[in-house]
Structure 1
Amino acid sequence: MRRFLVAVSILAFAASAASADAISDRQALMKERGKIVGTLAKMTKGELPFEAAEVKNALQALQANAERFDADALFPAGTETGGETTVSPKVWEDMTGFKAAEDKYLANVKAANATPADDLDTLKTQLGTVGGDCAACHKAFRIKKG
């Protein structure tokens, strides 16, 4: 009986650690994404100078980030609660819709990356599309802080 309890405790700890890893992994991925988009947004606002080479680098980084997104690994069952997370339960209730939103985002990031903006107006259009994808996903699948 003692061995059984030890085994159950070990499994419970491992599951808890896996959940914490998934939460921290998805938060890190989203923070990285936000930082990249933030740099592009600063260019569109004139807070940073427009530089085509920097736009290209940022779009490549954004695509690499989006390609690392794996909903099944980052949002496994059991990570709806625990830790400090703003993910809505709707992610698990509508995983198909959640994945479709991410697929749309990835497609738009790839399209922007295929023809990186060489002027500010093009960047504004591209960022409007990609940012719109972010906003739509946050509206549907994230709990607003505060």
Structure 2
Amino acid sequence: MKKIVLTAGLLAMSFGMAHADPIADRQALMKDMGKAVGSVAKIAKGEQPFDAATVKTALETLATDAQKLDADKLFPEGTETGGDTEASPKIWEDRDGFKEQIAKYQADTAAAVKADPQDLESFQMAFKSITANCGACHQTYRVKK
């Protein structure tokens, strides 16, 4: 009986994975990254006191999410139209450039975590680099609705 339940559960999971919605998945990932940026934006602007634990948590979230940015899985052919998406057609026209942008973001977020900023100035430098990546990618590969 346990084998039947386990098998049914595994089949249900694999069915759900096979029919994942890349548009919804990438939007959820972008929202999570936006939430992490928002959690430390006031610190970066000097509007809130520097808090190393909050900064570390946000940077770790950004780095973890960055590793989930897979152009082939989240932006497959056929998802450039349809659905409620702000993805620019340039993603599919300039695939290599898009992947390079993702790789740079992944490297910069990983470097920020490794640097483990312990003061406002070092955090601001890392944050500026990360958000510059966001801005550059959004400017080139996003169509704001």
TM over 0.5: yes
- Cross-structure match for 1:55: 55
Aligned length: 129
The residue that corresponds to 1:6 in the other structure is: none
Match of 2:39 in 1: 39
User: Shift of the alpha carbon at 1:48?
Assistant: 3.4
Q: Identify the residue that residue 133 of structure 2 maps to in structure 1.
A: 133
Q: Distance in 2 between matches of 1:60 and 1:49?
A: 19
Q: State the Cα distance separating 1:47 from its structure 2 match.
A: 3.9
Structure 2 stretches lacking a partner, 5+ long: 1-17
SS at match of 2:104: helix
Structure 2 residue aligned with 1:27:
27
User: When the two structures are superposed, what TM-score results if normalisation uses the length of structure 1?
Assistant: 0.83
Q: Distance in 2 between matches of 1:45 and 1:88?
A: 30
Which structure 2 residues correspond to residues 1-146 of structure 1 after superposition, within 5 A?
A: 18=19, 21-145=21-145
* TM-score in terms of structure 2 length: 0.83
Distance 2:82 2:67 in 1: 26
CA distance, structure 2, for counterparts of residue 60 and residue 29 of structure 1: 14
Distance 1:131 1:137 in 2: 10
5+ long unaligned stretches in structure 1: 1-16
CA distance in 2, matches of 1:105, 1:51: 23
RMSD: 1.7
CA–CA separation in structure 1 for the residues paired with 2:125 and 2:140: 23
Tell me how far 1:117 sits from its aligned partner. 1.1
Q: Secondary structure at the match of 1:79?
A: coil
